[in-house]
Structure 1
Amino acid sequence: MPLSPTQLERHARHIVLPEIGGVGVAQLSAAHVVLVGMGGIGCPALQYLAGAGIGRLTLIDDDTVDLSNLQRQTLFTPADVGEPKAAVAARWVRAFDPELAVTAVPERITPANAADLLTGSDVILDGTDNFATRLLVSDTATTLQIPLVSAAIGRFQGQIGTFRGWLPDGPCYRCFVGDAFDAEDCDTCAEQGVLGAMVGLIGSFAAMEVVRALTGFGEDACGKLHLFDGLKPLWRTLKIAKDPECKACGTGDPAA
């Protein structure tokens, strides 16, 4: 579908990039991206994905805005405290660009609804804060053959990876963390803290990886894990190997 005059002007700085161009902007406009988690990572990621003109956005989060969120979740204001994060974020999208289609899902993603919520998307961005949800999203993305950008933060550290576990040489998130789980005494963001600017950095990087997955600019990021240490500061990139015995994308027993 040809770009409208408004889109041509609004996205001119992307159009002049040879690696994206008008074709890439059209791809972004036709894309459907699901964001799981509208917290510290989801807020900046959503801002840059909406800015890139992602045509359809689905926002999944069952949490409500808390005053302590405002230190890093910059979409929200004191007036939003107590409201569903997904609904507030969707309202922001509609004000930012009325041409974008956005759906708020103010509920928790579970094994019972994951496939329904994620089916039909072109890329999934997971910014949740626990292994159980991350593994559920990853396993579902692998089954549905949908690229997954997974991002996480803690204190002064952050990580971003792109996964296509259904490919012969493509690892999934479970290949990276194994059968991880959240122990009852697992440290939380509230207990350990997190630098507010870190979530902006990692969320923006995650948005860039979603755009990369949709348009194909630059090098393929599949199976690469980018690690940032804010104390040094230092970036490192690791290559994740596919686990042949992975329960989700290998020969391992899913019921084990």
Structure 2
Amino acid sequence: MRASVQPLILVVEDETDLVTLLTYNLEKEGFRTRAAYDGDEGLLAAAEQRPDLILLDWMLPHKSGLEVCRQLRRSSKTRDVPIIMLTARGEEGDRVRGLDSGADDYITKPFSTTELVARMRAVLRRSAPAMAQESLAFADVSMDLAAHRVRRAGRDVHLGPTEFRLLRHFMQHPGRVFSREQLLDIVWGHDVYVEPRTVDVHIRRLRKALNNDDSDPDVIRTVRSAGYALDANPD
């Protein structure tokens, strides 16, 4: 969130009535808004003016929200922008697919504006850069917190906002095992309900980004029935 400027929220949604309702309520809560009514328009809007957060509908004309999310994550301009997926699809498998595509949170329609705003504020707080230390290092992994940049063995590692926060926490506490519940509280926050399985999805994405190929040792250790830890010798 940019200091002293109202956060800009890009609403990518094809239901005109819902866009009107969201725009009214979000602006009443102190946000600026911009609307896009299909996937291509949403991608263009995000590229033209980088938003602070994107509310992205799953079912969109021309291009699905999942594909829009993947393209946003591939772009250097928008890879770090928090994304909340809005959808009528409430099955667990759908939630996992949404998270796997790069979304940071997932809310099922119909939803209350109060809950949506609470989740948005939580995501915006979590995505704010960490201020105390400017860099962290562990084994061949380095993090520049000020520049929001990660490198491993000299190559750039591209992470979404949630994976960045997970890695930052692990690197601040190397070797310590954290349960899924602890990671949910630390990385996602106490005020938003997120299923424990969500942690597994983001750990998998973090591993995929860190491990460029089979020659890279996996620095994330899974501790059965306990959780995860950062470990230079996970075996």
Q: Same fold (TM over 0.5)?
A: no
Which fold has the larger relative contact order, with Cα–Cα distance below 8 Å and residues 6 or more apart in sequence?
A: 1
Give the TM-score of the pair, scaled to structure 2.
Answer: 0.40
